[in-house]
Structures are given as C-alpha cells and as structure tokens.
C-alpha cells in the first residue's frame, strides 16, 4: 500500500518536472501520447472489456475536436470567416465530449445490434461518412483545410504561447502549459475507467463479452449496456480529440482517418486488452515510436536519412509497429501490461508460495463456450 503511494508520488513529481527539462518536441510527443492514451482507454472499454470491435474510433475523436473548435470559436469567425458559438473554452470542451457521446448514441441502433466483424466493419462506415461530412460541412468544419483551434482558457489562464509566461526561468509556451492539462485529463480518465471496469458496470461488460445470453438472464440489459459502453467510449474518443486539437492548434479532416482508428486497435492489442494500464502503455508505444525513430534517424544504423533512399524513418516506424503487433500477439498474450503483471507475479510468487496456476489465462476455449 505505502509502496503504491510512494510510486504514485514519484510518478507525479516526475510528470511535473518534465516540462522544465524537456524541449518542445518531447512535450509534444508526450501530449500526443496522452491524447492517444485517453482515446485508447476508451476503445479498450469497448473492444477489450465488452468485446465490441470498433474501427470507427477516429470518428469520435473528430467529433470531439471539431465540436470543441466550433463551440469555442468566436461567433464572428476569424480570417477564414468560420464562425462558432463563442462559448467559454472549458464549457466548449465539456460540450464537445458530450457531443461525441451523442454521436455514439446515434450509432447505438447499430452498436447495440451488431457484434464481431460485422460491427467492426460497420463502424468503418463512420470514418468514411464522418470524413465526408467534415469535408462538406465547410461553414462549421472549414472543409479540407480544417480550422484553427481556439486555445483552452481556465480561470483566465490561457494555454497558448501568448501571453508569455516564464516559470523558474523556463519559458512556458502552449506545450508546457498543456502538459499539465494533459496529465490531469489522463489521470482523471484513467481513474474513471478503472472504477468502471472494477465496478458493477465492468462486470456486466465482461459478461456481455463472454456470454451475452447469460448476461441478459442475470439482469443486464445487454443492448442498452452495449450502447452505453459505445457512448462512453465515444466520449473518451471525444476527450482525446479535444486534447489533440489543443496540441495541434489545428484540426484537419484527413487526420481522423482509417489509419488512426487502426492505430487505436494496435494500441490496445500491444498494451493488453481490457485494462487501463494496457491501453496507456500501448498508446505511449504506438504514438512515440515514429517520433523517436525520425528524431534519431541519423543515429540508428538501419534507418536512412529521408531522401537518401533506403528505409526511411517513417517506413521503419511502420515496419516496427506492424511487427510489434504481430510479436505481441505471438509471444505476449496479455500485451505489455500482461507482461508486466506476469513479471510482478513472478517476483511476488518467489517470495510467497511456489504453488498456483500460471498467470496466463485463456486456456483452450472452455468446452461449454460453444453453444
């Protein structure tokens, strides 16, 4: 217990210290990872815990990002003549998350009825339809070019480069300021999801995944729960969208495409299905990998400078990323989080009794799982 507290405190101190030491590139990479982690927690609730495959997560990020921009932008619009509602930024962010939830809710006739591959591919439609709307609803979305993101403002504190702010001789620009916002949002999102997963809704979700009919008979309103989880996961997507928009300072429709959705699936598989820690680990891995590779492309032996022929950093990142997904599933059934759990168990087991079952679950499919 106290060990846990110490660990948490250490993590907190480290997180706070980061902006004072690392340069913009790292802060930005970290913020991307935080946003990705929030989104991944969301889709892990849906796909990992409830067994509902979704390939449309990027759509909800888009809804979050664009809603925030629209709600927060000045009614008159800026240079591009794109208007908004001019709401206070925190309210706009909150409403944006709710909007993503509503979008998820609108999809619930499908989300509540379909499962497996069918749901997965049906959600693919969200991406394409969503992008169609983003491209065409120009007065709101700015069309192909997207639009600029109004900065977050909390109690008069603006999360942007100006007005200038220097803390302990370190200039605090948008990224430094957003870093703290990101940490807070991620921590909140993670704790919330953990509560959900370990509580009554989590059990219901797991049972829907494992045995839908049994869940219903035990009193779980299955369709409503499915839809509910879909909405919740959409809201996580929406929050991730708001954060990424703030970091980006611009939203463009292209970003919210299929590849982003696939990234999210890769994150939860690599991290470990169904757990919050898994989602976060996977998100950090997937979103940092390409950045690290391109940053250190000159130092890495196999990776060529862009433009010089050979494997470029972007290509290397994708190769590694694909391979990581495969390798995780082949050799780390529980993902990175599962690996960590096993390591932890191995150390505690050595301390305690040597007996007990192996940590890895999923023996063969139970004989009764068939019909």
Partner 1 sequence: MSTTYQPGGMDISVPRLEVRDVTVRFAGLTALDAVGFTVEPGSLHAVIGPNGAGKSTCFNVLSGVYRASAGSVRFGDAELTALAPHRIAALGVARTFQNIALSPHLSVRDNLMLGRHRLTRAGFLAAGLRLPSARREAAAHGERVAEIAAFVGIAGRLATPVGLLPYGVQKRVELARALCMEPRLLLLDEPVAGMNGGERRDMAELVVAVRESLGISILLVEHDMGMVMRLADTVTVLDFGRRIAGGPPGEVQRDPEVVRAYLGAAAEDGTRENAS
Partner 2 sequence: MDVHDPRPPEGSGLIVRDLAVSYGPVAALRGVSLEVPRGSIVTVLGGNGAGKSTLLRAVSGTLGFHRGGVTAGEVRFDGARLSGTAASSVVAAGVVQVPEGRRVFARMTVEENLRAGALGARDRRAAAESRDRVLTLFPVLAERARQRAGLLSGGEQQMLAIGRALMARPRMLLLDEPTLGLAPMMAARIAETVREINGQGTTVLLVEQNAAMALSLASHAYVLEVGEVVLSGPAGELAASDEVRRRYLGVEDDGDDGNGGGGDGGPAARTSGGARRDLSASPRPVLARWSA
Partner 3 sequence: MITFLELLANGLSVGAVYALIALGFVIIFKATEVVNFAHASLLLVGGYVVARAHPSVGFWAALALGVAAAAVVGALIEFLVIRRAKVSSHGVLAIVTIGVDIVLTTELTRRIGTEVLALGDPWRDRVLHLGPVAIAQTRVVALAVAVVLIAAFLLAFKYTGWGVAMRATAEDPETAALMGVRRERVSMGAWAVAGALAAVAALFLCVFPTPGLDRSTTFAAMKAFPAAILGGLDSTTGALAGGLIIGVVEAMMSGYQNDLAFLGRGIGDVAPFLVMIVVLLIRPAGLFGTRELARV
Ligand X SMILES: Nc1ncnc2c1ncn2[C@@H]1O[C@H](COP(=O)(O)OP(=O)(O)OP(=O)(O)O)[C@@H](O)[C@H]1O
Residue 118's CB is within 10 A of a number of other CB atoms, namely 12
Which positions ≥6 away from 245 have C-beta within 8 Å?
A: 64, 65, 66, 68, 69, 149, 251
* Residues of span 213-232 touching partner 1 by CB under 8 A: 213-222, 228, 232
Site string for partner 3, 209-238 (x = CB under 8 A): ---xxx--x---------------------
Interaction partner, residue 200 (partner 2, partner 3, partner 1, none; CB < 5-8 Å by kind):
partner 1
Residue located via tokens 């509560």: 195
Here the tokens at position 267 are 């994150």
Given partner 3, partner 2, ligand X, none, residue 340, with its beta carbon under 5 to 8 Å by kind, binds: none
Rounded distance, CA 222 to CA 208, Å?
A: 7
Of 189 and 303, which has the nearer Cβ to partner 1? 189
Choose one: 79-87, 90-98, 200-208, 238-246; the region binding partner 1 (CB under 8 A): 200-208
* Residue from 354, 356, 363, 365 binding ligand X (CB under 6 A): 363
Q: How many whole angstroms from its chain centre is CA 57?
A: 9
Quote the tokens at residue 72: 């927060």
CA of 41: how far to CAs of 99, 154, 158, 181, 238, in Å?
18, 25, 27, 17, 12
Decide if residue 219 touches partner 2 (CB under 8 A).
no
Total residues at the site for partner 3 (CB under 8 A)? 52
Helix (H) / strand (E) element for 5: namely: helix 2-21
Nearer to ligand X, 354 or 363 (CB): 363
For the chain, counts of helices (H) and of strands (E): 15, 6
Query: How far is residue 340 from each of residues 4, 127, 281, 333, 349, measured CA to CA in Å?
Result: 15, 34, 10, 12, 14
How many residues are listed for the chain in this entry? 371
Q: Decide: residue 267, CB within 10 A, 0-12 exposed, 13-18 middle, 19+ buried.
A: buried
Q: Which of residues 88-127 bind partner 3 (CB under 8 A)?
A: 109-110, 113-118, 120-122, 124-125
What residue ranges in 238-277 does DSSP mark as E strands? 250-251
Where in 29-58 is the site for partner 3 (CB under 8 A)?
A: 47, 51, 53
Q: Which is nearer to partner 3, 96 or 127 (CB)?
A: 127
Q: Which stretch binds partner 2 (CB under 8 A): 9-17, 80-88, 180-188, 355-363?
A: 355-363
Q: Which stretch binds partner 3 (CB under 8 A): 95-103, 149-157, 193-201, 325-333?
A: 325-333
Q: Which of 97, 204, 265, 341 binds partner 1 (CB under 8 A)?
A: 204
Q: Which two tokens stand for residue 163?
A: 């007005």
Listed residue (247, 235, 229, 262) closest to 67, CA to CA: 235
- Count, residues near ligand X per rule CB under 6 A: 2
Exactly one of 16, 106, 218, 319 binds partner 3 (CB under 8 A); that residue is 319
State yes or no: residue 352 binds partner 1 (CB under 8 A): no
Residues that bind partner 2 in the complex, under the rule CB under 8 A: 357-358, 363-364, 367-368, 370-371
Residues that bind partner 3 in the complex, under the rule CB under 8 A: 47, 51, 53, 109-110, 113-118, 120-122, 124-125, 128-129, 131-133, 135-137, 212-214, 217, 258, 262, 265-266, 269, 273, 311, 315, 318-319, 321-326, 329-330, 333, 362, 364-365, 370-371
Residues that bind ligand X in the complex, under the rule CB under 6 A: 363-364
């Amino acid at each position: 217990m106290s060990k846990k507290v110490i660990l948490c405190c250490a993590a907190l101190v480290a997180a706070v210290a980061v902006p004072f030491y690392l340069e913009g590139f790292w802060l930005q990479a970290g913020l991307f990872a935080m946003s990705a982690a929030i989104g991944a927690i969301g889709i892990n609730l849906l796909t990992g815990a409830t067994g509902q495959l979704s390939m449309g997560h990027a759509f909800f990020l888009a809804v979050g990002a664009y809603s925030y921009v629209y709600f927060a932008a000045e009614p008159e619009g800026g240079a591009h003549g794109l208007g908004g509602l001019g709401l206070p930024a925190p309210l706009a962010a909150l409403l944006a998350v709710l909007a993503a939830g509503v979008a998820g809710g609108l999809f619930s006739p499908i989300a509540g009825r379909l499962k497996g591959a069918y749901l997965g591919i049906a959600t693919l439609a969200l991406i394409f339809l969503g992008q169609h709307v983003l491209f065409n609803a120009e007065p709101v979305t700015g069309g192909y070019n997207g639009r600029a993101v109004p900065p977050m403002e909390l109690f008069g504190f603006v999360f942007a480069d100006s007005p200038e702010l220097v803390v302990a001789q370190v200039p605090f620009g948008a990224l430094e300021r957003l870093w703290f916002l990101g940490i807070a949002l991620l921590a909140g999102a993670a704790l919330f999801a953990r509560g959900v997963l370990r509580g009554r809704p989590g059990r219901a979700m797991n049972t829907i995944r494992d045995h839908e009919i049994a869940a219903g008979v035990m009193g779980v309103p299955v369709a409503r729960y499915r839809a509910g989880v879909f909405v919740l996961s959409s809201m996580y997507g929406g929050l991730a969208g708001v954060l990424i928009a703030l970091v980006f300072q611009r939203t463009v429709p292209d970003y919210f495409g299929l590849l982003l959705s696939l990234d999210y699936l890769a994150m939860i598989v690599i991290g470990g299905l169904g757990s919050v820690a898994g989602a976060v680990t996977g998100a950090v891995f997937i979103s940092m990998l390409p950045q690290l590779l391109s940053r250190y492309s000159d130092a890495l032996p196999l990776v060529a400078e862009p433009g010089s022929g050979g494997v470029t950093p972007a290509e290397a990142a994708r190769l590694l990323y694909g391979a990581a997904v495969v390798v995780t599933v082949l050799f780390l059934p529980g993902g990175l989080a599962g690996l960590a759990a096993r390591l932890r168990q191995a150390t505690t087991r050595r301390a305690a009794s040597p007996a007990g079952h192996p940590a890895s679950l999923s023996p063969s499919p139970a004989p009764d799982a068939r019909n």
